[in-house]
Amino acid sequence: MAKTNLEAKLVSVYRPHMKIIGDILSTARDDLDSEEGATVTYLIRKANVSHVRISKILNNLVSQGLLEQVDSQGAFRYKISSNGREFLVAYQTFSRFAENFGLLI
Amino acid sequence: MEFLLENILNLIGFVVGLAIGVIAYIGYKNTGSATLFRLSIAFLSISVGFFVVWTGYMAEDFVLQKGQIERWVQTLGIGIQTVGYFFIAFSHSIKSFFPKSRYLRSIGIIPLFLVSAVHIEHIFRSISFILLVYGAIETILSYFEGKKKGTIFVAMGLSFLALGEFLGWYSFVFPESILYYVSISIKIAGLISLFIPVSKIPLTKIKFDPEI
């Protein structure tokens, strides 16, 4: 019983906003053919974020130039941009830096 | 000997604090992370604090030659370092000045009783000790969650700095003893330990923000 509680606690660990952005960009970079881009549904499943929340984040990432929005047969798809790739490298490097201090960025 | 060790400690503190602070600031500029901003304030404060004390020793050695560093310079430098230690603890979501745990509070109060009648410098040292212990405990707990090797070095670094502060008090109680030199050596080891994981960060892979 105690183990189950511990597992539940570990699964529900708080994930900062920056980590969610990192997960979305990683998914867009690593999991997909870069020509097609990812659907919102795919990103929701891979990044484990609600639809309402991911819509706001995707709009923000597109306006910041980190993701590119592609209109594909009436549905939007998202591709990582070159700025997004650079941001992701910086995010992963400084994430490791912060982890050394026991912190999440 | 005292001047030499103090100069080595303060110079290493200045360089290590500056290096970590600059890396954290570059990280903040590239990612916009508030955690990295707090870390940059923390380590730049620590760096400035060590630099102020080092300047005090240099001024004493080459200009004033009174045989002792100006007390206010030392107090100012240690006060600035304490601000840095506060931000390290704050990065671990410290909610109030003293930790909520009864055990940690009891640890924190002891040094304040010990130094109640002496200078502000010693109060700053007490606060630094509490913050360093808090930071070290939180970092050790983070190690158990993430099992990152670098976290152990940072936890050791913070622990050594705390132990160095602690032994530093005893050197006031027992002046002329070896404790003072042990205290400074442990602090130097702590600073080096803090720098080890940071030195392994591959900054060359990053295309830096041109505005930095």
- pLDDT tier, A4 (very low <50, low <70, confident <90, very high otherwise): very low
The beta-carbon neighbor of B23 closest among A89, A97, A99 is: A97
Whether A2 is covered by a domain: the verdict is no
Judge whether residue B74 has pLDDT over 50: yes
Whether A84 is covered by a domain: the verdict is yes
- Selected residue with higher pLDDT from A36 and A66: A66
- pLDDT tier, B93 (very low <50, low <70, confident <90, very high otherwise): low
Judge whether residue A28 has pLDDT over 90: no
Whether A33 is covered by a domain: the verdict is yes
Judge whether residue A53 has pLDDT over 80: yes
- pLDDT tier, A46 (very low <50, low <70, confident <90, very high otherwise): confident
Those residues whose C-beta lies under 8 Å from the C-beta of residue B46, and which sit 6 or more positions away, are: B13, B17, B21, B80, B81, B84, B85
- Residue contact B39–A87, C-beta within 8 A: no
The secondary structure element, H or E, covering residue A34 is none
The beta-carbon neighbor of A102 closest among B139, B203, B205 is: B139
Q: Nearest CA to CA, how far is A74 from chain B (Å)?
A: 33
pLDDT at residue A14, rounded to an integer: 62
> B interface toward A at CB cutoff 8 Å?
23-24, 27, 30-31, 33, 35-36, 39, 88, 91-92, 138-143, 146, 148, 150-151, 153-155, 197-198, 201-203, 205-207
User: Closest by alpha carbon to A47, among A61, A33, A31?
Assistant: A31
Token couple for B74:
């030392």
Give A96's contacts in chain B (Cβ within 8 Å): 148, 150, 201
pLDDT at residue B108, rounded to an integer: 52
pLDDT at residue A34, rounded to an integer: 56
Whether A47 is covered by a domain: the verdict is yes
Structural domains in chain A (count): 1
The beta-carbon neighbor of B150 closest among A87, A100, A104 is: A100
Over residues A34-51, the mean pLDDT reads 83
Tens of pLDDT, residues B23-49: 999 999 988 888 899 999 999 999 999
pLDDT at residue B162, rounded to an integer: 95
Over residues A53-61, the mean pLDDT reads 91
Tens of pLDDT, residues B121-160: 888 888 999 999 999 999 999 999 888 889 999 999 999 9
pLDDT at residue B6, rounded to an integer: 87
Q: Which residues constitute the domain of residue A48?
A: 15-100
Whether A4 is covered by a domain: the verdict is no
Token couple for A67:
């993701």
To which residue do tokens 């600059």 refer? B22
Q: Which chain B residue shows the shortest CA-CA distance from A100?
A: B151
Amino acid A104 reads L
Helix, coil or strand: residue A33? coil
CATH of the domain at A43: 1.10.10.10
pLDDT at residue B92, rounded to an integer: 82
pLDDT at residue B95, rounded to an integer: 43
Helix, coil or strand: residue A80? strand
Whether A71 is covered by a domain: the verdict is yes
Rounded CA-CA distance B48/B14 in Å is 7
pTM above 0.90, yes or no: no
Q: Kindly list the strands in the beta sheet with A38-39, ordered across the sheet, starting from the edge strand earlier in the chain.
A: A38-39, A75-80, A67-72
pLDDT at residue A7, rounded to an integer: 39
Judge whether residue A3 has pLDDT over 90: no
User: Closest by alpha carbon to A100, among B26, B81, B152?
Assistant: B152
- A–B: how many Cβ contacts below 8 A? 81
Judge whether residue A97 has pLDDT over 60: yes
Whether A38 is covered by a domain: the verdict is yes
A28, burial (CB in 10 Å: exposed 0-12, middle 13-18, buried 19+)? buried
